[in-house]
Structure 1
Amino acid sequence: MTPDRAALVAAARTSIAKGSKSFAAASTLFAPDVRERAWLLYAWCRRCDDLVDGQDHGHDRVIVHDARERVAQVRAMSEAALRGEPTGDPAFDALGVVAAETRLPARYVHDLIDGFQLDADDWMPRSEDDLYRYCYHVAGAVGCMMAIVMGVPPEDEAVLDRACDLGLAFQLANIARDIEEDDRVARCYLPMEWLVEMDIPPGQHMKPPFRDRLVVLARRLATRAAAHEASARVGATALSFRSAWAVLAAAGIYGDIARTVAARGRHAWDHRVTTGKAAKLGWIAKAAAQAARRGAIPEGPRGQELWTRPR
C-alpha cells in the first residue's frame, strides 16, 4: 500500500518537535512545500540516528551491543525507500517521498549511513582530517540533502559545498557541546593527534586535571565551526528569501551553541548547552534582515583553508 503523504508529514512534524526545538523553530520559516520536505528528511535522519544509537529522538542514549546489525537494517530499509517501496516505517517512507520529489542523489543517503557505520565500528579520529570526514558523513551530507530539498540543483557543487559547510559547523558544535555525554558512552571525537598535542592520555580527557587543556580543544572546535558557519552564510545568496531566512536563523541558533561552549570554558559541561527561546526569536528576527540583504553578501571563492567534502 502506498504511504499517505499527509500522514507522513504529520508524523515528521511530531518527530522534529520532539527531537530538535532549534530545527523545528527554523523550519517554520520555509515556504510550505520546502517545510514539509525538510520535516520528512529530518524524520528519516532522526529515525536512523535513534535506531543506531539506542535513543529516543536524540535523548537518553545508551550503549548498544548490536550496532552493526542496526546499521544494516537502516541501510536495507533506506535502499527500499529509495526504490519507492513501502517500508512499514513512516520515517523511511518519508525518505522515499523526498527522494522522488527532489531528485535526491542516493550517494548522500549512502554517505550518511556510512557515518553511522563508523560509529557502529567504534571508530575514532586520529587526525583533524579524520574528524572532518566524520563530520561530513554524519552532518555535511545532510546539509547537501537539505540544500536539494530547498531547490538547489544536485549538480550545483559550489552551492552544495556551502551547504555542507553548515552541516560541518553544526557537527563541530555538537562535538564540543557533547564531549562529556559522549565520554559516558565510551565515545570520543577529539582527534588522537590533538589529545597527544595537549598531553592528555587516551580516555582521560574528562578528568579534572586535564580540564583546562580540554577547554583549549573545545575552543578550537568552536573556531573551526565559526569558519564553516561563515562560509555557509555566503551560500544563502543562492536561496529564495524564505529558505535563506531559515538557513541563516539555524546558523545563528546553532552557532550560539559553539560560542557558548567556548565562553563557558571549564564549566562548559556542567550543564548541557542550549539556545533559549528568547535567543531563538532574536536570531529569527536578525535572520530576516540578513536574508533580505543576502544580495549584498560578497560571494567570492570559498576559503582554500576550509576542509572540502569528497566528490
Structure 2
Amino acid sequence: MRHRSALVERSRATIKDGSKSFAAASMLFDKATRERVWLLYAWCRRCDDIADNQDMGRTIKGALGDQSNAPDRLKSIKVLTRRALDGLPTADAAFDAFGLVAQECGITQGMADDVIAGFALDAQDWRPRGEGDLMRYCYHVAGAVGVMMAKVMGVPADDEETLDQACDLGLAFQLANIARDLVEDDAAGRCYVPMEWLAEEDIEPGQHTKPHHRTELADIADKMILIMDRHAKSARLGAAKLPFRSRWAILSATRIYSDIGYEVRKRREAAWDSRVYTSKAAKLRHVSAAFFEALANTPRGPDELPRWTRSQLAEKAATA
C-alpha cells in the first residue's frame, strides 16, 4: 500500500491537470479536507477515463476511445473499487487513494456503486426517455459524488437534509456540463437530451445538433439551465451548514459552474460555436464574491423547489 503523502501528491497533480476549476476551489478548504477532496477526485477521474478509454478525459480530437470492450472496463472499475474499499492494494494509485479517503470519511460501497452505475449507463449506449431519466443519470455521475463530497467535509450520515443538498450541487454541475457539451457529446455518439424533449421541439432523431435546429437546441439548453438553477440554489442552503472554509469553497465552485450554465443560456444559438468556459479573471471574481457570501451566510433558496430529490432519484435508480 502506498504512503498517504504519495497518494495525496499524486491526487493533487491529477486534479490540477484534470479540472482547473475544481483545483482552484479545492485550495479554499482546510488542509485535511483539501487533501481528501483530491483523493476522491483522483478516483472519479480515473473511473471516468477507464470507462471512456481516455487519458485525463483526452484522446485525439477529443473523441471517446475505443468502446468495443466497455463491459470489461466497467468490470475493472467495480473490481478495483471493491478491493480499495476492502483495504487491499490495487496497483492503481487512484483506487488506492479512494480506499484511503473512504476509510477516513466513511464512504461506503453503496455510495461507490451509485457512481459506478452512471458509467454502466454509458457502457450500454443508454439514452434518456424523459426528464426523470436525465436526472437519474445526473444523480449517478454527479449527485452521488456530491454526497461523497459531503462526507469528506464531515457531514454525518444521518444528516439527510444536508446530504440531499449536496446531491443538488452535483446535479446542478452536471446539468451545466451537459448543456455546454451538447454538440461535443453528439460528436462522440452520446445524447443526454430526453427523447420526449426532442419530440416536443419536433426534432428528428439524431438531428438535434444540426444548424437548422440551433434555436430548438437553445430552448432545450434553457430548460436544463432552469433546472440547474433551482438545484444550485437549493445547494446553497446546505452550504450554510458547513464550516466557513468548506462553505467558501463550495460557494465558489457553485458560482463558477453556474456561470457556465448562465453563459450558455445567454449565448443562445451561439453557445456551441466555441466552448464556454470561465476565465481566470472571472474565477477570481467568483471566489471573491463567494467569500463575502460565505461570511454573511444568509442564503436564499430557490423560488421553486427542485422537482427531483435525492430519495426520488435513488428510488428511480433502484427500480430502473
Output the TM-score relative to the length of structure 1: 0.96
| Deviation digits for residues 122-165 of structure 1 (CA, Å, limit 9, x no counterpart) | 00100000000000000000000001000001221110000000
Question: Contact 1:231–1:302 at 8 Å: present in 2 too?
Answer: no
* Structure 2 CA distance for aligned equivalents of residues 150 and 222 of structure 1: 27
> Counterpart amino acid of 2:84?
A
Match status 1:98 vs 2:97: no
The 1-side partners of 2:274 and 2:288 are apart by 27
- Pairing 1:154-165 to 2, within 5 Å after superposition: 154-165=157-168
Q: In 1, distance between residues paired with 2:185 and 2:273?
A: 14
Aligned residues: 309
Give % identity: 52
Does the Cα contact within 8 Å between 2:116 and 2:140 map onto a contact in 1?
A: yes
The SS at the match of 2:240 is helix
- 1:105 Cα offset (Å): 2.2
Residues of 1 paired with 2:307 and 2:194: CA distance?
Answer: 18
Equivalent in the alignment of 2:55: 56
> CA deviation digits over 1:61-86, x for unaligned, max 9?
42421111111100100000000001
Aligned pairs for 1:1-311 within 5 A: 2-60=1-59, 61-63=63-65, 64-294=67-297, 296-297=298-299, 303=305, 305-308=307-310, 309-310=313-314
| Residue identity in the other structure for 2:181 | D
1-side partners of 2:164 and 2:69: how far apart? 34
Distance (Å, rounded) in 2 between the aligned partners of 1:232 and 1:305: 14
C-alpha distance in 2, partners of 1:224/1:152?
A: 25
Paired residues of 2:135 and 2:308 also in contact (CA < 8 A) = no
**CA 24–196 in structure 1, closer or farther in 2 if over 3 Å, else same:** same
Question: Is the contact between residue 230 and residue 302 of structure 2 (CA under 8 Å) also seen in structure 1?
Answer: no
TM-score by structure 2 length? Answer: 0.94
CA distance in structure 1 between the aligned counterparts of 2:300 and 2:134, rounded to whole angstroms: 29
Q: Deviations over 1:154-184 (max 9, x none)?
A: 2211100000000000000010011111111
SS at match of 1:216: helix
Stretches of structure 2 lacking an aligned partner (at least 5 in a row): 316-320
- In 2, distance between residues paired with 1:271 and 1:298? 33
- What amino acid is aligned across from residue 303 of structure 1 in structure 2? L
Instruction: State how far apart, in whole Å, the 1-side matches of 2:55 and 2:257 are.
Output: 21
Contact 1:111 1:137 in 2 (8 A): yes
Q: Deviations over 1:18-54 (max 9, x none)?
A: 1100000000000000000000000000000011112
5+ residue gaps, structure 1, are: none
Over 3 Å counting, the alpha-carbon distance change for 1:301 and 1:78 in structure 2 is farther
Q: Which residue type is aligned with residue 25 of structure 2?
A: A
Residue identity opposite 2:197 in structure 1? W
